[in-house]
Amino acid sequence: MITYQFISTLADAKPNSHLIARSASSLLPESALVDEMRQQNTVADTRFGCAPFARITLLPDALWHDALTEGLLAALRPLLAVPASADIVLDVTDIGEVVLAQVLRFLFNQAHRLSDLKLKKTDDAVRLTCITALCLPEQRAKLETIFRQQQAIALGMVAARRLADIPSDRCTPQFMIEEAQKLCATYPALRCEVLNEKDIVEQGLGLLHAVGKGAACPPRLLAVHYNGVSDGPVRCYVGKGITFDTGGLWLKEGAGMYTMKYDMCGAANVLGLMLTVAELKLPVRIMGVLALAENAIGPEAMQPGTVATACNGTTVEINNTDAEGRLVLADAIAWASQRHPQARYIIDMATLTGAVVKALGYELSGLMTQDEPLREALTGAGKRSGDEVWSLPLDARLKKQTDSAIADLCNTPTNNAAISASAAWLLHHFCPPTIPWAHLDISGTALWRENGRSVASGRPIPLLVEHLVGDLSRVTAAPYPA
């Protein structure tokens, strides 16, 4: 984990640090070099003549105040790709809170790199180990809260991202269970409950089983329980954990298939969220449910036209074997709601449809819910955290989209319309109306570009932590929204 500390004068900076500051910062050393760098109206960067620093980068003030943050991150990314020093001194004297949170998450997330998987021979260059924040003494108390929270969020993101990046020949449902158990063992407040294939069949999770039974590695359900307090309502998070999605017998095209090891990002992010919550010791009860399966082809693979039964008794015609995510989620949501009928809410997250990327792009997660207070809370938390969501409609006008002649529901509409919302409409049948429920389609946001490649992003962990912290500050005994 990358550490942090605060200083109020550059005289206290560690020697050979990389100083990253606002061009207009009043705390910069008075020198001809700094003066000259300040004259430039763009990014000014030098590694020469800047002792006691190893490198000085001055970034124009506009970048620090741009609410979109992308400009500042775009300037920081190449600097961090090959760090000049293990220590960064970051000027935080004048930066908006939302921008700062995102910059800190970016920096703390440097704790994971693809090369850490040790699948490529690399001579590991210098790694960032400590962030020194340059601030005014009166800013410190507030900054400490922000740094602590963002460091814990990044800890969860890094664990989730690492798991997601591991290729699917290793990262199977059982591997996910074992990694989760190892990660949770660090925190006494976390407890893992595992359903193996036999349990899945016995407890009637027929949809999860249908999806996973075609693979050499059988499906699993993992419930991670966090008890930060002994009573109070339980908050539930459910994640799609397809460790590889071939599409099943409705086989995907080869070209688009290689990113499908990331089809377990929803589940990985639920686990990451649990780690963050445990790290922050939040006073709350949470259950995270990971629906784990590989959507493979083989003699046992589910066939188009199969009807399978969920653990709440609902039957589903499996028209398209590539619409597997909604099947495993449906069982997991129903299972969670049976375990905690009084849950304060259930939020599920999944790389569920390619269509949500067409609708919203790569910056926004799709939010589908019929609970207006929950929509409002999640939308606001997205804005505050910089991990934003956008609503797609979800109501009974979608009813035809899940009609089946042979079963209660059909897993795909035949008309290719409203694909993302139709999936959400199917899911809503598995959460009783008494529990507020929201669905996040993260197909566009679960990955980000890093050195020209798509890798796991850890989103929407920042959104969910912001939402949870906000929700805890309400009167928790009252029904949502209090």
Please give the positions annotated as active site: 252, 326
Contacts of 301 (CB under 8 A, 6+ apart): 213, 214, 248, 249, 321
Nearer residue to Mn ion within complex by CB, 245 or 466: 245
- Residue 325 as a binder of ligand BES (CB under 6 A): the answer is yes
Q: Whole-angstrom Cα distance, residue 78 to residue 90?
A: 16
Nearest CB to ligand BES, comparing residues 184 and 293:
293
* Sole binder of ligand BES in the list 165, 263, 348, 388 (CB under 6 A): 263
Instruction: Report the residue number whose CB is nearest to ligand BES.
Output: 354
Which one of Mn ion, Zn ion, ligand BES, none is in contact with 165 (Cβ closer than 5 to 8 A by kind)?
Answer: none
Give the range of 35-43, 328-336, 345-353, 428-436 binding ligand BES by CB under 6 A. Answer: 345-353
Backbone φ/ψ region at 258: left (φ over 0), alpha (ψ -120 to 50), beta: alpha
Q: What are phi and psi of 237, to 5 degrees?
A: -125, 135
Q: Which is closer to ligand BES, CB of 324 or CB of 466?
A: 324
Q: Is 190 helix (H, G, I), strand (E, B) or coil?
A: strand
Residue 322 found at the interface with Mn ion (CB under 5 A): yes
Please identify the residue of the shown chain whose CB is closest to the bound Zn ion.
245
Of the candidate residues 324, 331, 348, 371, the single one contacting ligand BES (CB under 6 A): 324
Other CB atoms within 10 Å distance of the CB of residue 1: 12
Residues 284-323 that bind ligand BES (CB under 6 A): 320, 322-323
Instruction: Tell me which residues in 238-277 interact with Mn ion (CB under 5 A).
Output: 245
User: Minimum distance between the CB of residue 247 and Mn ion, rounded to whole angstroms?
Assistant: 5
> Residue number with the shortest CB distance to Mn ion?
322
DSSP SS3 for 450: strand
Contact between 354 and ligand BES per CB under 6 A? yes
Contacts of 445 (CB under 8 A, 6+ apart): 362, 363, 364, 365, 387, 457, 459, 460
The region of 237-245, 367-375, 380-388, 389-397 touching Mn ion under the rule CB under 5 A is: 237-245
Instruction: Verify binding: residue 404, ligand BES, rule CB under 6 A.
Output: no
* Least distance to ligand BES, CB of residue 441, Å: 9
- Measured from the CB atom, is 102 or 411 closer to Zn ion? 411
CB 80 within 8 A of CB 128: yes
* Residue 348 near which of Mn ion, ligand BES, Zn ion, none (CB within 5-8 Å, type-dependent): none
By beta-carbon proximity to Mn ion, the closer residue of 69 and 353 is 353
What DSSP element (H or E) covers 346? strand 345-350
Give the Å distances, CA to CA, from 438 to 221, 325, 372, 396. 20, 16, 10, 16
| Beta strand pairing call for 285-295 and 220-227 | antiparallel
Closest approach of ligand BES to the CB of residue 448, in Å: 13
- Give the interface size with Mn ion as a residue count (CB under 5 A): 2
* Window 220-259: residues binding ligand BES (CB under 6 A): 245
Q: Which stretch binds ligand BES (CB under 6 A): 132-140, 281-289, 347-355, 368-376?
A: 347-355
217 vs 293 by CB, closer to Mn ion: 293
Q: Per rule CB under 6 A, is residue 131 in the interface with ligand BES?
A: no
DSSP 288: E
CB 435: neighbour CB atoms within 10 A?
19
Q: Please provide residue 373's backbone torsions phi and psi, each rounded to the nearest 5 degrees.
A: -60, -40
Chain position carrying tokens 């997601």: 164
| Least distance from Zn ion to the Cβ atom of residue 247, Å | 8
Cα-to-chain-centroid distance, residue 90:
25
Residue 241 vs 272, nearer CB to Zn ion: 241
Our CB check for ligand BES shows the closer of 402 and 412 to be: 412
Query: Is 443 an interacting residue with respect to ligand BES (CB under 6 A)?
Result: yes
Give whichever of 42 and 303 is closer to Zn ion, judged by the CB atom.
Answer: 303
Q: Measure Cα distances from 301 to 214, 215, 246, 295, 319 in Å.
A: 4, 7, 11, 8, 13
Assigned token pair, 42? 């763009």
CB of 71: closest distance to Zn ion in angstroms? 33
CB of 419 to ligand BES, least distance (A): 5
Tokens 């899940």 locate to 402
- The per-residue DSSP string of 4-51 comes to EEEESSGGGSPTT-EEEEETT-TTS---HHHHHHHHSSS-EEESSS-T
Q: Give the distance from CA 195 to its chain's centroid.
A: 24
What CA–CA distance (Å, rounded) separates 314 from 292? 20
Residues lying near Zn ion in the complex (CB under 5 A):
242, 245, 263, 325
Q: How far is the CB of 473 from ligand BES (least distance, A)?
A: 34
Based on the shown chain and the rule CB under 6 A, indicate whether residue 17 belongs to the binding site for ligand BES: no
Chain residues binding Mn ion by CB under 5 A are: 245, 322
Chain residues binding ligand BES by CB under 6 A are: 245, 263, 320, 322-325, 351-355, 412, 419, 443
